[in-house]
Structures are given as C-alpha cells and as structure tokens.
C-alpha cells in the first residue's frame, strides 16, 4: 500500500482520503509534525496544502526538500479561501519553481467518483512505488 504524507488543513482530509482510498495516508498539521513524519522513513508522495495550521506551502516545501529532494511532492488547494484565481495561479507557478511536481486545485474537480478518479490519476502518475 503506497504511503502518502499529507500536510493539509483538517478540512481537506476527507477529500484526500476520497482521492486516495488505496493509500496509507498520514496527515500532519504543523511544521514540527511534518519534520517528525519525514524522519519516520520514506514515503511514496508528499502532498502539501497551500496552507496548513501555522505553516504555508512554501515553508513546508523547504522542510521537505531539506530532508529529501527525491520525494514526489504535489501541492494542493483543498479548501476555499479568499484567494482569487490570479493568486492561485501565481501560487501554482511559485510552488512549481520551488520544486513541486504538480499543483492541483481540488476545487476545480467535483468531489464525486469522476472528479476524484481524475485527481487520483494525476497523483498516481507522480507517485513512486
């Protein structure tokens, strides 16, 4: 079973589980939890939310890549925020420049079997294992 580390807001957890039902997903909510989880051994993918607890995607990516630059890392927007489309697009570009393999705005895909299957396919293409 693929191991996925997900640093996302609690509100995004049900959606991540719907997208990755065949994965062992470990959720973390702080930068410290993220570092401890990375120390627990390799995983097949790291998913970083644009914001989680006190941290941001940029800080989380820095922590992940300081530990191991070989993890496939995908950034997601999993909850509604006040960010408009231009800000989300800017984040997509910036996070890609920092090393994220993909940025997926989960709000662009319906939270149903078809939408989740599409996101699952994108993630599966990047997952190591």
Mean pLDDT of 60-65: 80
Stated pTM of the model: 0.87
**How would DSSP label each residue in 35-85?**
HHHHHT---SEEEEESEETTEEHHHHHHHHHHH-TTS-EEEEE-S--S--H
Q: What is the mean pLDDT of residues 42-64?
A: 79
Residue 26 has pLDDT above 60, yes or no: yes
**Mean pLDDT computed over 31-41:** 87
> Across residues 8-16, what is the average pLDDT?
93
Question: How sure is the predictor about 53, in pLDDT bands with cuts at 50, 70 and 90?
Answer: low
Question: Are 62 and 38 spatial neighbours (Cβ–Cβ below 8 Å)?
Answer: no
Which of the two residues, 113 and 86, has the higher pLDDT score? 113
Domains defined along the chain, listed by start: 3-126 (3.40.50.2300)
């Amino acid at each position: 079973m693929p191991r996925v580390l997900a640093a996302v807001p609690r509100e995004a957890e049900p959606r991540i589980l719907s997208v990755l039902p065949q994965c062992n997903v470990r959720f973390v909510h702080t930068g410290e939890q993220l570092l401890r989880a990375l120390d627990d051994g390799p995983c097949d993918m790291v998913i970083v939310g644009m914001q989680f607890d006190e941290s941001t995607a940029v800080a989380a990516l820095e922590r992940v890549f300081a530990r191991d630059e070989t993890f496939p890392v995908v950034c997601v927007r999993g909850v509604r925020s006040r960010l408009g489309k231009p800000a989300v697009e800017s984040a997509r570009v910036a996070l890609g420049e920092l090393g994220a393999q993909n940025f997926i705005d989960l709000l662009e895909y319906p939270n149903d079997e078809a939408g989740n299957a599409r996101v699952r396919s994108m993630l599966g293409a990047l997952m190591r294992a």
